[in-house]
A and B are shown apart, each in its own frame.
Chain A
Amino acid sequence: MASAGGAAPFWRAAGMTYITYSNICANLVRNCLKEPFKAEAISRERVHFSLSKWVDGKPEKPTIRSDPTEH
């Protein structure tokens, strides 16, 4: 563990949060797996969401996205 008030890890110094760092590491590891584990891992981590902008208090037509995780 870093010394009290000591140097932050390089990713924190560059403005990245721990959770961003951790997710990047996890994605990199998943990309280095053998098939079929790689396909399973990527499909497991897909996110599906529907996004709609609100204008004048009413929602516009939503866009539905289903992306594999990107950092």
Chain B
Amino acid sequence: MFRRASTLLRRPLMGATSRRFSTDLPAAAVEDSSFVEAWKKVSPNVDPPKTPLAYMKPRPATPSSLPSKLTVNFVLPYASELSAKEVDMVIVPATTGQMGVLPGHVATIAELKPGVLSVHEGNDVTKYFVSSGFAFIHANSVADIIAVEAVPVDRIDANLVQKGLQEFTQKLNSATTDLEKAEAQIGVDVHSALNSALTG
């Protein structure tokens, strides 16, 4: 009964890969040809003005061979921690778990949870604790990591973390409204993550 299932399942997949989204950026810069032609008919001596389409920058080309290094831009609202730094690998604390990003990683957008971001360059590993944010990995091996607050792990005070963890576990037990529960849960999550960052 299910012998045909594999062929039937394969068909829609093959169709989907050949069609691209209508919102995709063009691979190369494009001019609005019909507008330009209409303009030239009306006033051939004046250069046509640029249309918004001409200002759209084409998506940077995916290099045909794997680049050897990952370019990382790690920014905070008040400072640019890393700006176009060439590294071997970064491990980002995505909500779906620790994600290792190597050069040639598939284009991804990841929401970050409170956790440790580690930047690996040769034998050096620099660890930052990130409060939350996003990581955008582009097809050309450029990673943009944005966070609201990020500190090197050695700037975290273990006593304050323990106190905070106890305080929020108590608040979680005594919370009544949904909002209070959510706030207490956030407190517990962040402090547990800080704790594992200090011990791990």
Contacts and interface: CB of A to CB of B under 8 A. Distances in A.
A48 interface: no
Contacts of A37: 151, 155
A52 interface: no
A31 B191 CA distance: 11
Looking at chain B, what size class is its interface with the partner chain? 20 to 34
B132 A32 contact: no
A10 interface: yes
B179 interface: yes
B172 to A, nearest CB: 12
Main secondary structure of the interface of A (DSSP, over half): helix
B186 A25 contact: yes
Nearest to A19: B148
Interface of B: 78, 95-96, 110-111, 114, 129, 131-133, 148-149, 151, 155-157, 160-161, 164, 178-179, 181-183, 185-187, 190-191, 194
Interface of A: 1, 9-11, 13-16, 21-26, 28-34, 37-38, 41, 44, 71
